[in-house]
Structure 1
Amino acid sequence: MKAEHVNPFIKASKEVITQMTNIEFKVGKPFLKKSPFNAKSVLILIGITGDLKGQAIIDIDKSTALKIVSGMMGGMPVAELDEIARSALSELGNMIMGNSATLLYNQGIKIDITPPSLMMGQSMSISTDHMQNICVPLEADNDRVEINIVVKE
């Protein structure tokens, strides 16, 4: 996958998460993730169509998801991933991908995104067969969010 296709996702992810949570996430080194992979306990899935086709998979463990939602709600303590918390996480994914789409458009690459789907559970195995998965880790203290960009160019 070309760097000019990955970089907008990295930039949008870091900026949106930091702006929405007031937690400074740092971008780790992107890497190829093999399929299938074991997901954490919370996944935000967003389809990508247009000049690029595939999906973005935002992979978060539950404790980090709770911190993110708390940050999005102005620091209000969040103890469980209830309907409001799940909606906030879906909206976070939507904002990341919307910003990514804008950055790509500015490079002449047109994409559309699907509404986010949120999955929660234990021991989820995700298969991205036939497509390369570039994983971009975002880290803050002991918290980690993995942005998986799985597209055909």
Structure 2
Amino acid sequence: MKAEFVNPFISSTLSVFKTMIGMDPVKGDLYIKSDEKLFYDVSGAIGLVGDFVGYVSISFPEDLALEVGSQFLGEEITELNNELGDAVGEIINMVTGSAKKHFSDKGKKFNISVPNVVVGKGHTIQRPANIICIGVKFHLNDKIFVVEVAMKEKK
């Protein structure tokens, strides 16, 4: 996996949070994922297929998911419910869609799946074999969420 594959997702995450949610996360450390377990309690994932294959996910601790979802929807969400799931799904959809445009501008195309949202501690997303996953930590309101990118070019 190439670093330039991750950078569009970093930029689009920062942009979507600032313009669509009104929040300013700060990019933290990058890491290489060694297992399939996601960091937190609420995650959205989108599959990629075309010139690239793989997936992109965003994962929040429950309290931050509620905070971000409330800000995004403009109404307080106090529990894990369908509205929160819809918000997280739409956020990963916007992040991936924005990054997709970056790749398209460089002549690389891929389609994205409908977002899937998973709720619960210790959930996993199985990535395709032989695809390295790079994660990015983002700091927001003294909490951390992550965006993970597992993609490779089709040969």
What TM-score comes out, normalization by structure 1 length? 0.91
For residues 8 and 21 of structure 2, the distance between their equivalents in structure 1, rounded to whole angstroms, comes to: 20
CA contact (8 A) 1:50 1:111 kept: yes
1:21 aligned partner = 21
Alignment of 1:112-151 (within 5 A): 112-128=111-127, 129-151=129-151
Task: State whether residues 39 and 125 of structure 1, in contact with CA within 8 Å, keep that contact through their aligned partners in structure 2.
Answer: no
Which consecutive unaligned segments of at least 5 residues does structure 1 have?
A: none
Partner Cα separation in structure 2 for residue 115 and residue 83 of structure 1 = 16
Contact 1:70–1:77 (CA under 8 A) maintained in structure 2: yes
1:3 to partner: Cα distance: 2.5
Distance 2:38 2:107 in 1: 34
After TM superposition, the score normalised by the length of structure 2 is 0.90
1:38 CA displacement: 4.4
Give me the whole-angstrom Cα distance separating, in 2, the residues matched to 1:4 and 1:130.
18
Q: Contact conserved, 2:132 with 2:151, CA < 8 A, in 1?
A: yes
Specify the code of the residue in structure 1 equivalent to 2:21. Answer: T
- Following superposition, the deviation at residue 127 of structure 1 comes to 4.0
How many percent of aligned residue pairs carry the same amino acid? 27
The answer to whether residue 65 in structure 2 is matched with residue 52 in structure 1 is no
Separation (CA, whole Å) in 1 of partners of 2:51 and 2:136 = 21
Distance across 1 between alignment mates of 2:88 and 2:121: 18
Report the alpha carbon displacement of residue 33 of structure 1 after superposing the two structures with TM: 1.4
| SS, match of residue 92 in structure 1 | helix
- Partners of 2:137 and 2:38 lie apart in 1 by 15
